[in-house]
Structures are given as C-alpha cells and as structure tokens.
Amino acid sequence: MPLPSLFVLENVRCLACSEVYSKPMGGGTVLKNPGCPSCGYLGWIPLSLPPERGVRRRSAAGRPLLPLQPTR
C-alpha cells in the first residue's frame, strides 16, 4: 500500500488583488499549484517575508536612485 504524499502549505498574498491564500510551498504544476482563487493571477509574495524597511532603491547598474521629482 503506497504512503500518502504530504506537502507543506504557505500563506501568500496575490500581487494583483491582495487576496491571502494558501499554496504548496514546493511549487509544482498549475494543476497542483494554481493561481489566486479570487482573480486567477499567478504572481504572489509569501506572507512570511519580513517587511522591507529602509531598503534603498537601486538602478540596474547598482547605483542608488534619486527621489522622484515632479515635472514642471
């Protein structure tokens, strides 16, 4: 008799609609790991990540970006 397979779930937040839902932590195919149940979007971020405070924005070249200035 085969043993049942177990998987760990993690809570994530949809990047499109901000819905919080659970998904398999190890990834997988679309059938096993679908997008957001509310809007279907596939982009998400784990809730377990700490908030990014004091992170300085940088350009692709690695130089710090200047604050946005309003145009006149």
pLDDT digits (tens, 9 = 90+) for 4-43: 777 788 899 999 999 999 888 776 665 667 789 999 998 8
**DSSP state, 67?**
P
The answer, as to whether pTM is greater than 0.85, is: no
Token representation of residue 6: 């177990």
pLDDT in tens, 44-56: 888 887 666 655 5
pLDDT at 24: 81
Q: Which residue has the higher pLDDT, 64 or 25?
A: 25
Q: For residue 22, what are the CA distances in angstroms to 8, 42, 62?
A: 10, 13, 34
Q: Which residue reads 């195919």 in tokens?
A: 29
Give the DSSP per-residue string, 5-60: P---EEEEEETTT--EEEEETT---TTTS-S-TTT----EEETTSPP--SPPPB-T
